[in-house]
Amino acid sequence: MLYSHLKAIFAFLVLCLFSLVIIIHGCEKNATPVDQKNPHLSVTVEDVVVTEAWLQLNTTGITGEDSLILLRNDSAVFQMSPVQADTTIYDSTLLPAHSYNYQTVLKRKGFELTKSEMVNTTTMDTTSHEFQWESIEFSSPYGGGALYDVAIINENDIWAVGEIYSDSAQPWLPYNAVHWDGNVWELKRITYNGISWPIKAILAFSTRDVWFEAIVRWDGEKFIEIPIPNILIGYGMNKMWGIQNDNFYIVGSNGLISYHINEYWLKLDSGTELPVKDIWGVSTGSKSEIISVASTQYILNDCKVLSIVQGRVTDLTNNGLPWAISGVWFKPPHHYYIVGDGIFFSGDLNGYSKWIELVDDITGYFTDAIRGNDINDIIIVGAYGEVIHFNGYTWKSYLDETFMNGNLNRVAMKGDLVCAVGRKGDKAYILIGIHN
């Protein structure tokens, strides 16, 4: 009897212990969600320049308890909590010509969970501020002389256009171009229907393919008159930009933006009657980013920054800009410059961020034009012979070397060669700079 009673108690205890094991096992199993993913991190360098880098952070399988740390050379430079799936980080505290490595670390409840693979990058170096400057003057005794635009094909092939009245036999008829062949500057008189006129814009694709206001073309041997399209009649021309002779733009007075494609001309709706002063574009493969600026320099008015995409013109933000702007140059995706009554920068045109005026002690003069080889080699020119170089890190003015009683209207830059054109008093003026 006692034995049967003990046996029953023992069986009951075994059953209770077995049930407890099942309960504990079930609780442990339910503590971790069955659909939880393993976290994954990656960091890539989107863009790197002289002192700045843009990094793309990507994550998957992240919970609300996680935090992310970005390391640069093993030092934390950024922390994010809660973690976003895709984030762009801007690191602006770098040094020129330095190598850096970046890595992301994921922590959960203070404990390191995982790391991304390390990526390496090197910042660009600065360029030299050293230039050798030489000026050339063209007398214009029978009228005010000036050069309005310039194109560099190579060091032995440079064209500048404008108006120079130095022909005593025909003092009213201007020379409207000058050409450098590596030895001498030669005055040229380009005519259309037998008449020469002040030429404001030039676009050169090669030695044998130079366009003058889109109505005369130099083929390397002769000037060829191009029928004037009706949509250009009545407009003044200011600037041209394009990638080849069957794909280019011309901008001008009263809001003119016209597109030459194959043998056809299209007039684009700019949405403004302001004079369009400058146009610049960057073409990568089949994609181009093109921006123009419109403004009246001496009349208080609005200004326009215009984007041109597939024949459609749209407004970009002009927040932070003055009403007087004159030139534009950029290198996407993060470096956009506009000059005029100040020098202005934007790093994100799509975000409608405000244009930032760069330090106002760079110059006190109006700046007319800007061009560059890269973001560490930019030239700006303007009133009183002002020439400014940006080497990616610092700015330098050459006003003490180039000071003149006049104005530099346009500038071209190719390799180590800079050519700016304008007027000095009544003379047409060219400034040549050789980059050391």
End-to-end CA distance of the chain: 113
How far is 410 from 390, CA to CA, in rounded Å?
A: 17
- What are the residues facing 356 on neighbouring strands? 345
* pLDDT above 70: residue 12: no
Contact 254, 238 (CB under 8 A): no
HSE-CB of 310 using CA atoms within 13 angstroms: 2
Q: Which of 17-21, 406-410, 428-432 has the lowest mean pLDDT?
A: 17-21
For residue 25, is pLDDT > 50?
no
Rounded Cα distance, 274 and 300, in Å: 11
* Averaged pLDDT score across all residues of the chain: 89
Which are the contacts of 236, defined by CB distance < 8 A and separation ≥ 6? Answer: 200, 252, 253, 275
* Tokens, residue 70: 């970005």
Q: Measured on CA atoms in the order 384, 252, 147, 343, is the torsion positive or negative?
A: positive
Pairing state of beta strands 287-294 and 276-284? antiparallel
pLDDT in the model for residue 109: 83
Contact assessment for residue 329 and residue 371, using Cβ atoms and an 8 Å cutoff: yes
- Spatial separation of the C-alpha atoms in residues 181 and 88, rounded to whole Å: 49
Ordered by where they begin, the domains of the chain are 40-122 (2.60.40.10), 131-435 (2.130.10.10)
**How high is the pLDDT of residue 351?**
64
In SS3 terms, the chain reads as CHHHHHHHHHHHHHHHHHHHHHHHHHHHHHCCCCCCCCCEEEEEEEEECCCCEEEEEEEECCCCCEEEEEEECCEEEEEECCCCCEEEEEECCCCCCCEEEEEEEEEECCEEEEECCCEEEECCCCCCCCEEEEEEEECCCCCCCEEEEEEEEECCEEEEEEEECCCCCCCCCCEEEEEECCCCEEEECCEECCEECCCCCEEEEECCEEEECCCEEECCCCEEECCCCHHHCCCCEEEEEEEECCEEEEEECCCCEEEEECCEEEECCCCCCCCEEEEEEEEECCEEEEEEEECCCCCCCCCEEEEEECCEEEEECCCCCCCCEEEEEEECCCEEEEEECEEEEECCCCCCCCCEECCCCCCCCCEEEEEEEECCEEEEEEECCCEEEECCCCEEECHHHHCCCEEEEEEEEECCEEEEEEEECCEEEEEEEEEC
Question: Quick one: which of 189, 126, 143, 158 has its CA closest to 431?
Answer: 158
Max mean pLDDT among 247-251, 349-353, 402-406 falls in 247-251
pLDDT band at 229 (very low <50, low <70, confident <90, very high): confident
Residues 267-297: tens digit of each pLDDT:
999 999 999 999 999 988 778 899 999 999 8
For 171-223, how does the pLDDT look when each residue is reduced to its tens digit (9 = 90+)? 999 999 999 999 999 999 999 999 999 999 999 999 999 999 999 999 999 99
